[in-house]
């Protein structure tokens, strides 16, 4: 692969969820380590599956990878980072009065502190003056969250430079000077083309390629100009008489041919669709090696009726039994959440319901998926920039109304903090959740890691609200978290693909939700090849693995399971989406 020729010290792998960022970044890290380099592989994704792929337990400090000399792995865990950050801020307080310490820790309990703490660890790797590693490879969260991460060095550098008081989510200003210098060095490293390369990963799929093109433009705006493209899972039919295989190949070729010009001009590598799951060192070393086929055992696929769950039409029937409610569609990036959310919203409208379809995903694709309008269906998105401006305007109009100009200027200064965006998005999310009291709301959430951070914010707000209301003597309260915990009000739909990693991540997400006392209603397995009739050897090998995952999910992971089979014509547009949920 060309990417392995004179790689820069920092490599960022980003792209739409499910395109293979983790597999490719890990394979590149292993290859560089095998060549004698000292390599650190860093996950910035709260829903990373690196532990499963490498068979090791991820930690918030570098862990050597057995079997790969010179390679270590680090997971930036937001909760661990936040606690460590709180400890460092408290340690720098001039006063160690218990009440002052308690006040600061309380101020640092919000979701924005979690974000800045995780970012602080990320920045420290970029700003390291004494490099321990030849290469640091970042396996990032899906695009929207990654763009937020990569924009923070510039945002926080500017904020701290102009602010001599600090912000509550960061702690007292006296503890921020070390962060300011670190953020400036991190910004310089990111902008230096001799040090940093951003690797855009996409599938041979129109949606993934278009997102990579949009990301490329936004990265240029941030000053990250050293970019390259990897197309992963490029499929070529082995059986030229197999209409299913030929259809998949044709869709891929068409997407590549119609690639936006600016993206097509980037240096590019292509990785063929493999017959194996990228779990374990043997598979990961084979991923980039065209001479190694590493085939799966392709046993004959049995068509057990028990392994053929009901379709989305039956799920829409069940959801429509209620008169209103919140339907949250969640899962790993790239599994088809937006498609499932849009289809279920259309299915409810077909069944006589009024529906608001919205998204919390920074890289929202709802409008492109619908590609049209439908009576009874309202569509929106929680746009972080718009919500932030609305939130700032509201604060200035209310809390700032009676302030002097000097006091108002100080408030505006604090509201310029990047933390404000997290708070604003949460408020918008809470408003949409409350709409489900009188109608149906279908919420297409951001990929798992970002959604969990939003859930953390919901939990933090819940705890703060309960504390404040108890002090005021108020006992009756309904918070957004309480609505999410109510199975009559909220139905959580977990979406996955019939592959080992997406199923494992859906299971992990389900466990995280259960710890928050939120119980998923059903699972949806998307793009299921079983019963397609294909005889292509590559697809048949993948179907063998697929069947194992269906059995795994039905053996106890999901209380209810529904499927959306692989479609020769992708379900894009209201007409095609309507077919998969038709009454």
Residue 555, number of CB atoms within 10 A of its CB? 8
Say how far apart CA 226 and CA 191 lie, in whole Å. Answer: 9
Check if the beta carbon of residue 3 is closer than 8 Å to that of residue 189.
no
DSSP assignment letter at 322: S
Phi then psi for residue 198, to 5 deg, are -100, 120
Say how far apart CA 234 and CA 290 lie, in whole Å. Answer: 13
- Catalytic residue, chosen from 45, 120, 139, 361, is 45
Q: Look up residue 403 and give its two tokens.
A: 């302030």
425 Cβ neighbours under 8 A, 6+ residues apart:
360, 382, 384, 387, 388, 454
- Catalytic residue, chosen from 18, 110, 144, 459, is 18
Sign of CA dihedral 565, 141, 15, 546: negative
**23 has catalytic annotation:** yes
Among candidate residues 492, 498, 526, 527, the one with its CA nearest the CA of residue 510 = 492
Sign of CA dihedral 491, 497, 503, 506: negative
- Catalytic residue, chosen from 501, 504, 534, 540, is 501
- Catalytic residue, chosen from 14, 16, 17, 20, is 20
Residue 277, number of CB atoms within 10 A of its CB? 17
**22 has catalytic annotation:** yes
Cα atoms found within 13 Å of the Cα of residue 581, Cβ hemisphere only: 25
**45 has catalytic annotation:** yes
- Catalytic residue, chosen from 14, 15, 16, 21, is 21
| Block residue for tokens 């792209």 | 15
**556 has catalytic annotation:** no
**21 has catalytic annotation:** yes
What would the 3-class secondary structure string for 430-472 be? HHHHHHCCCCEEEEECCCHHHHHHHHHHHHHHHHHHHHHHHHC
Q: Which residue numbers are catalytic?
A: 18, 20-23, 45, 501
């Amino acid at each position: 692969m060309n990417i392995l020729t004179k790689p820069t010290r920092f490599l960022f792998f980003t792209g739409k969820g499910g395109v293979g960022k983790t597999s490719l970044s890990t394979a590149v890290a292993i290859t560089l380590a095998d060549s004698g380099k000292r390599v650190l592989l860093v996950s910035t994704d709260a829903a990373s599956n690196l532990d499963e792929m490498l068979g090791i337990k991820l930690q918030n400090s570098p862990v050597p990878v057995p079997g790969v000399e010179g390679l270590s792995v680090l997971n930036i865990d937001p909760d661990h980072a936040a606690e460590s950050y709180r400890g460092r801020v408290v340690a720098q307080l001039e006063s160690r009065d218990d009440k002052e310490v308690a006040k600061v820790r309380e101020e640092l309990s919000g979701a924005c502190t979690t974000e800045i703490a995780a970012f602080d660890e990320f920045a420290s790797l970029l700003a390291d003056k004494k490099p321990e590693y030849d290469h640091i490879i970042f396996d990032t969260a899906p695009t929207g969250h990654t763009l937020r991460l990569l924009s923070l060095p510039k945002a926080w550098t500017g904020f701290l430079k102009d602010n001599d008081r600090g912000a509550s989510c960061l702690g007292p200003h006296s503890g921020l000077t070390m962060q300011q210098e670190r953020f400036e060095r991190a910004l310089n490293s990111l902008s230096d083309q001799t040090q940093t390369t951003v690797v855009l990963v996409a599938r041979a799929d129109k949606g993934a390629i278009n997102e990579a093109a949009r990301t490329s433009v936004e990265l240029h705006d941030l000053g990250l100009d050293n970019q390259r493209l990897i197309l992963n899972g490029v499929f070529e039919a082995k059986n030229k008489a197999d209409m299913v295989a030929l259809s998949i190949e044709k869709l891929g070729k068409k997407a590549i041919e119609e690639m936006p010009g600016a993206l097509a001009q980037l240096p590019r590598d292509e990785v063929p669709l493999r017959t194996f799951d990228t779990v374990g060192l043997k598979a990961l070393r084979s991923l980039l090696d065209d001479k190694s086929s590493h085939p799966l055992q392709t046993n004959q696929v049995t068509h057990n009726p028990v392994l053929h769950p009901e379709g989305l039409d039956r799920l829409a029937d069940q959801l429509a039994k209620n008169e209103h409610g919140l339907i949250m569609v969640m899962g790993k990036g790239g599994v088809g959440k937006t498609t499932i959310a849009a289809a279920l919203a259309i299915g409810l409208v077909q069944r006589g319901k009024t529906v608001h379809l919205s998204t919390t995903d920074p890289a929202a694709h709802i409008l492109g998926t619908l590609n049209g309008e439908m009576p009874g269906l309202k569509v929106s998105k929680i746009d972080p920039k718009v919500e932030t401006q609305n939130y700032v305007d509201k604060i200035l109009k209310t809390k700032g109304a009676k302030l002097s100009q000097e006091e108002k200027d100080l408030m505006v200064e604090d509201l310029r903090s990047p933390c404000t965006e997290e708070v604003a998005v949460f408020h918008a999310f809470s408003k949409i959740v409350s709409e489900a009291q009188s109608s149906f709301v279908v919420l297409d959430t951001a990929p798992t890691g970002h959604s969990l951070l939003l859930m953390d914010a919901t939990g933090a707000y819940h705890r703060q609200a309960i504390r404040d209301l108890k002090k005021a003597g108020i006992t009756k309260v309904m918070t957004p978290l309480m609505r999410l915990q109510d199975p009559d009000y909220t139905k959580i739909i977990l979406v996955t693909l019939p592959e080992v990693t997406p199923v494992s991540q859906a299971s992990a997400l389900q466990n995280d939700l259960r710890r928050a006392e939120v119980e998923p209603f059903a699972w949806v397995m998307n793009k299921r090849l079983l019963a397609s009739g294909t005889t292509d050897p590559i697809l048949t090998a993948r179907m063998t693995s697929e069947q194992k995952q269906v059995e795994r999910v039905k053996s106890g992971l999901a209380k209810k399971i529904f499927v959306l089979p692989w479609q020769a014509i992708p379900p894009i547009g209201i007409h095609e989406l309507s077919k998969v949920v038709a009454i």
